[in-house]
Amino acid sequence: MNSIEKYLQQKGLSKSTIKCYNTEILEFIAWCDQQGIEAEYATSTDITGYMKHLQNKGQANVTRNINLNTLKHYFDYHILNETRDDNPARHIKIRGIAYNTLYPIFTKQELESIYHNYHIPASNDPMSKRNWFANRQLCKQRNKAILGLMVYQGLGTDEVNRLTVKDIRLREGIVFIAGTRRGNEREMELKPHQIMELMEYQLTVRVALQKLQTATSDLYFLPTPASGKKTITSNDGINIWKRLSQDIRANNKKFVNFLQVRASVITYWLQQYNLRQVQYMAGHRYVSTTENYLANNMEALQADIDQFHPIG
């Protein structure tokens, strides 16, 4: 089990989680021994039988789902060590468990429309003489740059919040997204127009936003303090997303939230690249997470079929 522990540690799991996983894996191996099954060569039928065994013991659906996820790790470990080349637990689902909600998916054209239609007021705007105009213009320029990273590189809100100045490598045309316990690190190529946009933000807008507050920060996207204040609070960061959501929804009634935007980007990627490539691009630790978005992809395909080959 020591090798599996090291594998789970490399996945960024906590000590307590690894301890629980070890217990659950040992219970599965013990059950396999009783059934005359070699655990590392178990089939999907064997896994289903084990889930039924846990159900007969009175184990709740949620707990069985945790056990199932543990077995997915167990078999991924064996794939890595070339003991086997498939994961028999990967496509098994526990009834009664709420899986990822399917969002109304934006097409590539709709995503780009959200980005291009995001309006930044010009300096000759009729409202330009108002006291608040300059700060609002800065915020809009910042938000347009943020929106570009979400639409073209599929960043989530937490990833945008964590970006630092050194993560935006304009000379290389790359954005670096640091890994966390929940996601892998990755480098994503910037579009040419984004490089110009981010350069303007970094050299002009960000400098101006920094002057609005007392403390310096290495965060790339700076929030603006509340009116009349110089100190940034956590609510100021939240207001970035609140304002950006309002602006997008005003132009697109289909917009639900930023998870929907990310889900749409990943769904589009799945139409263009293989599963492992998309796993890397999305920063998913496990390919099973990426596979969850295949359901969105199938819905998009079904919509095309309904449009071009209607039945009845």
Per-residue pLDDT of 254-282, as tens digits, reads 998 999 999 999 999 988 888 889 999 99
183 touches 285 (CB < 8 A) = yes
Look over the chain and give the mean of its residue pLDDT values, rounded to a whole number.
Answer: 84
**Superfamily of the domain at 131-247:** Intergrase catalytic core (1.10.443.10)
Q: Phi/psi zone of residue 88: left (φ > 0), alpha (ψ -120 to 50 degrees), beta?
A: alpha
- Closest listed residue to residue 109, CA positions, set 56, 47, 151: 151
State pLDDT tens for residues 156-204. Answer: 999 999 999 999 999 999 999 999 988 999 999 999 999 999 999 999 9
Q: Give the span between the Cα atoms of 239 and 231, in whole angstroms.
A: 14
Taking 60 as the threshold, does the pLDDT of residue 302 lie above it? no
Average pLDDT of the segment spanning 278-298: 81
CA dihedral 247, 251, 252, 258 (to 10 degrees): -20
Residue 223: which of 237, 212, 238, 207 has the closest Cα? Answer: 237
Give the separation between CA 7 and CA 9, rounded to whole angstroms.
Answer: 5
* Residue 291 pLDDT level (bands cut at 50, 70, 90): confident
**Which band of pLDDT confidence, cut at 50, 70 and 90, is reported for residue 60?**
confident
CATH number of 2-80: 1.10.150
pLDDT tens, position by position, 211-265 = 887 778 899 999 876 544 555 444 445 578 988 999 999 989 999 899 999 999 9
Two tokens, residue 272: 């263009």
Residue 152 pLDDT exceeds 80: yes
Supply the pLDDT for residue 132: 60
- Which spans in the chain are helix H? 2-10, 15-35, 44-56, 61-80, 108-116, 133-153, 157-162, 192-200, 206-211, 234-251, 258-272, 275-282, 287-291, 294-308
Residue 259's nearest CA partner among 106, 132, 113 is 106
Measured in whole angstroms, the distance separating CA 223 from the mean position of its chain's CA atoms is 22
Do the Cβ atoms of 149 and 175 come closer than 8 Å?
yes
Domain boundaries, the chain: 2-80, 100-117+252-312, 131-247
